[in-house]
Structures are given as structure tokens and as C-alpha cells.
Amino acid sequence: MAETQSHACPLCSSDVTTVIERRLNVPTLQNVTLPDRKSAQNFSCGALTMVQCSDCGFVWNAAFDAGLISYDGGYNNDVSASGFYQAHLCEMADRILASVPPDQDIHYVEIGCGEGDFLRLLHDRSKGRVVSAVGFDPSCTTASPLPEGVVIHRCFFTPQEVSKIPPQANVICSRHTIEHVSDVQGFAANLYAAMAPGRQLFVETPDVDWILRHGAFQDFFYEHCALYNPRSMRRLLAAHGLQAQVSRVYDDQYMWIEASMPAAAPAAAPNDAPRDAPRDETSAAPADLGQHYLARRDALLDQWAKYLGERRQTGGVAIWGAASKGVTFSLLMNARAAGLIDLGIDLNSAKQGCFMPVSATPIVDPATAMAQGIATVVVMNPNYEAEIRAQIAAMGWQAEVVVLNDRDSAPERPEASAELCQKAS
């Protein structure tokens, strides 16, 4: 059962909130790998107290401590080896390019640009239309030459950085950054400060309704301290003077938000959004989704632990995807029974030969996992299922492949994915 608490929602100030997840000793960063087992086991830990607002649907970690987080050069969330993800990035870049009339130059700003991969992609696909670009990210370590007219500031975006935005900027973008920021109102205010009449804002972030609907326990982790649904995202931006439209992308796991300043309308004070803002028609009531999540989470955890215990009788077990979902899944499974997960597989060469934080699960390439006798591969994200199956088949690897999702509320058998593979091929 959900646990009712007296946590006031930092987004809409409602005091009708519920704790839907509690965990102790979770890694404070998911996308950091460690060079040896001991340093992985001793990695910095925090706690999760995930609270859901029954009014707006916002979910946040009430136990989050920003002082435990450090986004530096060791942070690595690169998934560029995935064709599915590359196609998604291209689609989002094309949406941005199409938003500006073809006869106009694009002056681009990205808040939370990482290593500048999306910024470079947008620049390349623009065929010369992106004539200047400015990025902000403290974790950026890229030594590769930037395209002409591009600069990346290795810092957080704060009000003091607004002056670094060129006056001709007409596109502001922030992908997968807002969910890492606990100061909900402060970050929204910073986004508004970056805006001006005629500028467009694009934000991409996970949809917490998808997490709750699918019982996706692997998608709650320390870095993501603030998770939104369409209703809460529109409400937050409206409270800071921005009108937003929200669509779902990346097979509905993410939201894509397009926002702008309404003509001649001053910014509203925080929390002044109307209490009767229309609920997203495709979303259930927040409280119902929270209860649904709790029921599915417990069932899925039990089923996966039982299934993996059985599969270990036939050989080793590996997860494919040693990033956020994989770090959480490995930690939770091995906490239930030591050794349920032997290895993590990842195509990111910078992670191979390293260890996941806290669980200390070794990370290897596919060939190494095959050579070590892995008989079961659990795919962490169903979006990558088809390409992973194709790679395993091309290797002649006779592993059983299952997918971490809830289509049948149980570990999925290979034959159940035939239709998806055909669609993706």
C-alpha cells in the first residue's frame, strides 16, 4: 500500500501527496563506472523517498541531497552506438529545424548539452542554417574541435549565465536535464530568463506516467530527483509565463515539450497556474497510477527474481545496457539473491572493463559475455530489443533473450517479441 506523508508538492504546493517508493543505499550517480570492484562497492550512496502529488502528478525524491551529486568528467551517458537512439535524436533535431522558417538562420542554445553530441548533430543536419550555437554543461570534457560558431561553457546554467546567450538566439533547448534538478521553481525560472519574444523552447524529459503505468521500478534512481507528466510540466511552465504543448516520443517513454512566451503577457508568479488546469486526456488520475505502480512493481520484482534464479541453472545471466536502468535492475536483483546478475553488457567502449556503482557488476562487450558462457540476456530497454536480437543472432550466440518490460507482467519469452522485431527490422 502507498504511504501518505506530509510532503508539500514543490511544484503546485498541494499537501495531498503519497510516498510510492523507498530505497536505501542507492548510487548517487548511475552513469559513472568504476575501475575496480572495491571502488564500485564503496561508491557514494543516497536514499530514495519518491513522493507523488495527487493533484498535478509530479514525482520527486524528498530525500535528495544535491551535495552528493557531482557531474564531472567521469559522467558518461553515451548511447550513440544504438541505431534506435540515433534515429530518435535525428527526429528531435529535425523537429527543431522545422520549427524555424527555412529562410531564417538558427541561433541555438542548449542547456545541459553534455559532450555536445546533440548540438553537433543539429548543426550537421541543418546544412548551414545553424550559424551559431552555445552550450552549457559542467560535465563536458570533449577535446574534439567544435564546428565554427559553436562554443560550450563548462558550467551550470544560472541567471548569471544569461548574458552569455547571444541576443539573436531564437532556439533554446534542454534535453534530459530538468529531471536532474531538485530546485523545480528555480530551474523553470532560469528557463524563462533564457527566453525572449520570438524564441522557442524545447525540453525533453522522461514521462513519469509511463514509469508508473509500466511498473518500471528500474526508472527510479537518485539522479532523477524530479519527474514530470504532461499535466505537471504544462503547469510548471505556465506558472513561469510560458505556454507549452506536450507530446510523447521515444515510444512514449519521453515527453517532448515546445514552449514560448505568450504575446504581451507578463510572467506569472510561481504556483499561480490555475488549479483547474485540464488533465491530460491520456493519463489516469495520479493517485490511481501510483497504486497501479505499487502493485505492478512488487509483482514484477518477485517474478524477475524467480525467473533469474531458474535461468542460472542453465548458465550465466547478463543484462544488456549498463546505464541507468541496468544499474538499478542489477542492484535490486542481486540484493534479493546474491549473484543473480553476472555481467552487464554495453556497447560503450568507455564502460567496458569497468564496474557498475554499488553492485560492482562487471561491464563487458558482447563477445566477452558470449565467451564467458552467458546463457540469458535481459534487455534493459524494449526500444533496443530488435537491434540487440539482431546482433546476438549475427554472432551465432545461442542465448535466451528476454526484455525488461511488462507486456505480460512477467519476463518475456523470445517468441513473444516476434511482432516487434518484424516491425523494427
Q: What is the pLDDT of residues 215-255, one digit of tens each?
A: 999 999 999 999 999 999 999 999 999 999 999 999 999 99
% pLDDT > 90, the chain: 77
Res. 196 pLDDT band, cuts 50 70 90: very high
Least confident residue range of 164-173, 260-269, 281-290, 300-309: 260-269
Res. 421 pLDDT band, cuts 50 70 90: very low
Mean pLDDT, the chain, integer: 89
Give the pLDDT of residue 267: 46
Q: Are 150 and 248 found together in one domain?
A: yes
In a domain, 308, yes or no: no
Q: Are 141 and 105 found together in one domain?
A: yes
Res. 380 pLDDT band, cuts 50 70 90: very high
Give the pLDDT of residue 72: 63
- CATH code of 320's domain: 3.40.50.720
Q: Are 219 and 278 found together in one domain?
A: yes
Q: Are 46 and 142 found together in one domain?
A: no
Cell of 413: 519469452
Judge whether residue 271 has pLDDT over 60: no
Cβ pair 414, 400 in contact under 8 A = yes
In a domain, 224, yes or no: yes
Measure the CA dihedral 34/36/38/41, to 10°.
40
Find the angle CA(143)-CA(172)-CA(237) to the nearest 5 degrees.
Answer: 130
In a domain, 294, yes or no: no
Which residue, 145, 137, 142, 88, is CA-closest to 110?
A: 137
Kindly report, residue by residue over 3-24, the tens digit of the pLDDT.
555 689 999 999 999 999 999 9
Judge whether residue 275 has pLDDT over 80: no
Q: Are 330 and 415 found together in one domain?
A: yes
Strands (E) located in 291-420: 316-320, 343-345, 363-364, 374-379, 400-403
Q: Are 165 and 256 found together in one domain?
A: yes
In a domain, 75, yes or no: no
317: phi then psi, degrees, rounded to nearest 5: -125, 135
SS3 content of the chain, % helix, strand, coil (to 5): 35, 25, 45
* Exposed / middle / buried, residue 314 (Cβ in 10 Å: 0-12, 13-18, 19+): exposed
In a domain, 255, yes or no: yes
Judge whether residue 343 has pLDDT over 90: yes
Strands 226-227 and 59-61: antiparallel
Give the pLDDT of residue 230: 97
Q: How far is Cα 333 from Cα 301, in angstroms, rounded to an integer? A: 8
Q: How far is Cα 382 from Cα 394, in angstroms, rounded to an integer? A: 19
Q: Are 51 and 141 found together in one domain?
A: no
Judge whether residue 424 has pLDDT over 70: no
Kindly report, residue by residue over 96-148, the tens digit of the pLDDT.
999 999 999 999 999 999 999 999 999 999 999 999 999 999 888 887 888 88
- CATH code of 134's domain: 3.40.50.150
Domain count across the chain: 3
Q: Are 228 and 365 found together in one domain?
A: no
Coil, strand or helix at 72: coil
Strands 243-249 and 254-260: antiparallel
Domain hosting residue 45, numbered range? 3-65
384: phi then psi, degrees, rounded to nearest 5: -100, 5
Q: Are 253 and 360 found together in one domain?
A: no
Q: What pTM value is reported for the model?
A: 0.89
Which residue, 24, 19, 1, is CA-closest to 332?
A: 24
In a domain, 101, yes or no: yes
In a domain, 297, yes or no: no
Q: Are 344 and 283 found together in one domain?
A: no
Cβ pair 169, 145 in contact under 8 A = no
Strands (E) located in 98-238: 106-111, 130-136, 150-153, 171-175, 200-206, 226-227
C-alpha dist (Å) from residue 289 to 213, 280, 303, 338: 6, 13, 21, 31
Cell of 152: 560550450
% pLDDT > 70, the chain: 87
Res. 411 pLDDT band, cuts 50 70 90: low
Cβ pair 377, 365 in contact under 8 A = no
Q: Is the dihedral of CA 84, 86, 87, 93 positive or negative?
A: positive
Give the pLDDT of residue 4: 54
In a domain, 181, yes or no: yes
Q: Are 113 and 58 found together in one domain?
A: no
Q: Are 101 and 235 found together in one domain?
A: yes
Least confident residue range of 91-100, 182-191, 218-227, 289-298: 289-298
